[in-house]
């Protein structure tokens, strides 16, 4: 079950990884083509420049407008056992047929009814059906007269027929379910800052095992994140609402309250966790600090700039799970504080400086209250620094550089640096060996920072060797392994899949 949830979670990362680029286009294009911005900066009135900015805005909007379809494709690619291209095609066909069926039935039987938009729920249902049919029938043999339609060609065909029934089913069950989701979203909203705190706390807590991707899409892309009318169109989902408002040149005032599912991230990712790195660095005996300075600086900058936090979190998660729970609590409080202060900054992917600049600074303080992030961030940096120093010393937590064998640990860091100079393919071969060899590996995949591997025999996995090869840490649950290699995880995964012939 954990492996399956893990696969579903990482499947979201393929389409979601596109969002920073789409957000960059929409953020810059929308900001510089906004009438208020043009009025403030007359040099932007240049016709050529405005054409470029409007194209950028439209290009970014195109991605977000088709996000449900992209999620469906990502799910099919992530869960397909083989021939993933055909699985993706089946997902596209199924989703288009399903939405067309629902639309036609609404036109015929209830022309005055509200539009039915299943959003990410419909994408997940159709994607799950498509990939299930693909895994079962992609090698099917049909009678000779129908032989041309056998094998992988059969999958999109059978998926399209099943999509008709799924579309009809959604026409019947979705309206009351949609009302239920709206009520649930209103219920969360009625909880005020308490609901905001619970969202931030639970999402960070689930991040310990890589399952936070199972939580936030429901708020970002469905009615649970709120509904709002933007430019005369009803929009559901916190992120979809934010970007609809971002693209609306007539929007004035603060962005939607749905940004409470984003704004709390910035204080933690840009200030809190980098300060925790400083606390861990200062907790290292002075004689060893030089060996670990580069390590702490690198992961702190990664968190600050991009909002990718796993390299830091895996430094203390396993040596002190309670410290991670405390960190999750602080992250929840960060969401609560941002909500109380009406900080309304959205984001595409994470809470680093890139998104902070695009969707906070560039959008103006009148629409985001981004300036309040600075004093809150300073307080959060102090809170993280002193609390981490206290816990590390009080409970003798063995963060990097503090263990008794850290002279050997320093050598491990040096070894990892030396190994990193080897070719990526050679390193991939070494990683395969550390996982017990090709005979021990069942499946390989990756999210942004973690190499995710299913193995036959957990005892054959050499965790120490994986750390020597550059893994910040290694998480073992059942027969699933997560090795945290940072942003190189996807590169290693591609080489390992190629070497093992798993595609």
Q: What is the pLDDT of residue 168?
A: 95
Q: Quickly tell me which residue has 């080897």 as its tokens.
A: 422
Q: Is the pLDDT of residue 217 over 60?
A: yes
Q: How many structural domains compose the chain?
A: 3
Average pLDDT over residues 315-329: 87
Specify if 67 maps to a domain.
no
Q: What is the reported pLDDT for 327?
A: 95
Give the β-pairing of 474-477 and 480-484: antiparallel
* Lookup: tokens for 95: 């989703």
State the chain's mean pLDDT as an integer.
83
pLDDT in tens, 448-459: 678 888 888 888
Helix count (H) and strand count (E) of the chain?
A: 24, 6
Residue 71 in domain = no
Helix (H) or strand (E) holding 235: strand 233-236
Q: Is residue 217 domain-shared with residue 356, that is, in the same domain?
A: yes
Tokens of 340: 């109380």
Same-domain pairing of 341 and 450: no
Predicted pLDDT at 448: 63
Tokens 């939607």 correspond to 256
**Per 3-state DSSP, what percentage of the chain is helix, strand, and coil (rounded to 5)?**
70, 5, 25
Q: Is there a domain that residue 55 lies in? A: no
Do 347 and 488 fall into the same domain? no
In degrees rounded to 5, what are phi and psi of residue 62? -60, -40
Domain of residue 308: give its range.
191-403
Helix-helix angle 373-394:321-340, to 10 degrees: 160
In the predicted model, what is the mean pLDDT of residues 392-397?
A: 89
CB neighbour class for 143 (10 Å; exposed up to 12, middle 13-18, buried from 19): exposed
Residues 235, 381: one domain?
yes
If asked whether residues 155 and 218 sit together in one domain, one would say no
Name the DSSP letter for residue 478: T
> Mean pLDDT, to the nearest integer, of 400-426?
57
Q: Are residues 388 and 284 in the same domain?
A: yes
| CATH number assigned to the domain comprising residue 465 | 3.30.1360.60
- Percent of the chain scoring above 70 in pLDDT: 87
Is residue 459 in some structural domain? yes
pLDDT at 439 over 80: yes
The more confidently predicted of residues 477 and 85 is 85
- Decide if 48 is inside a domain: no
Cα-flanking dihedrals φ and ψ of residue 172, to 5°?
-80, -40
Among the listed residues 362, 401, 166, the one whose alpha carbon sits nearest the alpha carbon of residue 281: 401
363, pLDDT greater than 50? yes
| pLDDT at residue number 412 | 45
> Which of 74-83, 271-280, 486-495 is predicted with the least confidence, judged by mean pLDDT?
486-495
Q: What residues pair up with 169 in beta bridges, in sequence order?
A: none
**Residue 347: which region, alpha, beta or left (left: phi > 0; alpha: psi -120 to 50)?**
beta
Both 320 and 454 in one domain: the answer is: no
The pLDDT value given to residue 222: 80
Rounded-to-integer distance, Cα 76 and Cα 465, Å? 33
- 250 in helix, strand or coil? coil
Closest to 373 measured CA to CA, from 344, 330, 332: 344
Quick one: 277 and 376 in the same domain? yes
Residues 228 and 354 in one domain: yes
User: Higher pLDDT residue, 278 or 313?
Assistant: 278
CA gap 127, 139 in Å, rounded: 19
Angstrom distance (rounded) from CA 54 to CA 174: 35
Q: What angle do CA 188, 339, 32 make, to 5 degrees?
A: 115
| Lowest mean pLDDT, pick from 157-161, 175-179, 205-209, 388-392 | 205-209
Asked if residue 28 belongs to a domain, the reply is: no
Which of these three, 367, 383, 403, is where a domain ends?
A: 403
- Whether residues 303 and 423 share a domain: the answer is no
- Which of 450, 451, 448 lies closest to 496 in space, CA to CA? 451
The residues, any chain, with a CB within 8 Å of residue 233's CB and separated by 6 or more, are 244
Q: Taking residues 403-429, report their average pLDDT.
A: 57
Question: Domain ends where: 380, 403, 426?
Answer: 403
Report the distance separating Cα 253 and Cα 375, nearest Å. 22
pLDDT at 67: 80
> Which whole-number Å values give the CA distances from 177 to 96, 115, 174, in the listed order?
21, 14, 5
Separation CA 239–CA 259 (nearest Å): 7
d(CA 342, CA 368): 8
Task: Give the residue, 184 or 424, on which the prediction is more confident.
Answer: 424
pLDDT at 64 over 70: yes
Residues 31-51: what's their mean pLDDT?
76
Mark whether 135 and 211 lie in a shared domain: no
For residue 281, name the pLDDT band (cuts at 50, 70, 90): very high
Per-residue CA distances from 158 to 105, 331, 353 (Å)? 21, 46, 46
Task: Round to whole Å and give the CA distance between 352 and 374.
Answer: 13
Q: What is the pLDDT of residues 243-276, one digit of tens each?
A: 888 888 888 888 887 888 999 999 999 999 999 9
137 and 207 together in one domain = no
Return the higher-pLDDT residue of 321 and 420.
Answer: 321
Final residue belonging to a domain, choices 403, 429, 455:
403
CB-CB contact of 60 with 22 (8 Å): yes
Strands (E), 80-232: 227-230
| Predicted pLDDT at 410 | 47
pLDDT band at residue 415, thresholds of 50, 70 and 90?
very low
CA distances from 310 to 340, 378, 486 (A): 27, 22, 8
Q: CA–CA separation, 378 vs 358, rounded Å?
A: 21
pLDDT above 70: residue 16: no
């Amino acid at each position: 079950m954990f492996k399956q949830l893990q696969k579903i979670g990482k499947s979201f990362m393929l389409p979601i990884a596109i969002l920073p680029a789409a957000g960059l286009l929409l953020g810059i294009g929308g900001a510089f083509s906004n009438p208020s911005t043009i009025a403030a900066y007359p040099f932007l009135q240049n016709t050529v420049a405005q054409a470029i900015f409007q194209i950028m805005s439209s290009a970014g909007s195109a991605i977000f407008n088709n996000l449900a379809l992209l999620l469906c494709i990502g799910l099919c690619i992530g869960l397909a056992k083989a021939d993933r291209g055909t699985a993706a095609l089946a997902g596209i066909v199924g989703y288009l047929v399903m939405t067309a069926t629902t639309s036609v039935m609404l036109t015929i039987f209830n022309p005055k009814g509200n539009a039915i938009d299943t959003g990410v729920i419909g994408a997940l249902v159709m994607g799950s059906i498509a990939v299930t049919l693909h895994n079962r029938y992609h090698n099917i043999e049909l009678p000779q007269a129908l032989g041309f339609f056998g094998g992988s060609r059969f999958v999109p065909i059978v998926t399209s027929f099943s999509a008709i029934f799924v579309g009809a089913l959604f026409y019947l069950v979705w309206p009351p379910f949609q009302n239920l989701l709206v009520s649930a979203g209103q219920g969360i909203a009625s909880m005020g800052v308490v609901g905001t705190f619970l969202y931030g706390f639970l999402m960070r807590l689930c991040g310990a095992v890589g399952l936070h991707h199972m939580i936030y899409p429901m708020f970002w892309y469905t009615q649970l994140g709120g509904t709002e009318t933007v430019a005369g169109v009803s929009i559901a989902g916190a992120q979809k609402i934010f970007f609809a408002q971002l693209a609306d040149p007539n929007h004035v005032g603060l962005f939607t309250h749905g940004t409470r599912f984003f704004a709390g991230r910035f204080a933690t990712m840009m200030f809190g966790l980098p300060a925790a790195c400083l606390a861990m660095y200062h907790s290292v005996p002075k004689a060893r600090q030089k060996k670990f300075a580069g390590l702490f600086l690198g992961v702190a900058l990664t968190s600050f700039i991009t909002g990718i936090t796993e390299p830091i979190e895996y430094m203390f998660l396993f040596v002190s799970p309670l410290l991670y729970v405390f960190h999750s609590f602080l992250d929840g409080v960060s969401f609560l504080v941002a909500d109380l202060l009406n900080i309304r900054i959205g984001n595409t992917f994470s809470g680093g400086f890139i998104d902070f600049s695009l969707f906070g600074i560039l959008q103006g303080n009148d629409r985001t209250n981004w300036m309040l992030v600075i004093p809150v961030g300073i307080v959060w940096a102090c809170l993280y620094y002193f609390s981490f120093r206290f816990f590390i010393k009080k409970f003798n937590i063995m963060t990097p550089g503090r263990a008794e064998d850290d002279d050997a640990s320093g050598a491990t860091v040096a070894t990892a640096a030396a190994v990193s100079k080897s070719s990526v393919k050679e390193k991939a071969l070494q990683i395969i060996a550390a996982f017990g060899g090709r005979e021990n590996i069942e499946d390989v995949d990756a999210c942004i920072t973690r190499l995710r591997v299913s193995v036959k025999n957990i005892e054959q996995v050499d965790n120490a060797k994986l750390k020597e090869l550059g893994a910040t840490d290694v998480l073992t649950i059942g027969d699933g392994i997560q090795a945290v290699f940072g942003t190189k995880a996807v590169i290693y995964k591609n080489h390992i899949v190629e070497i093992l012939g798993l595609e």
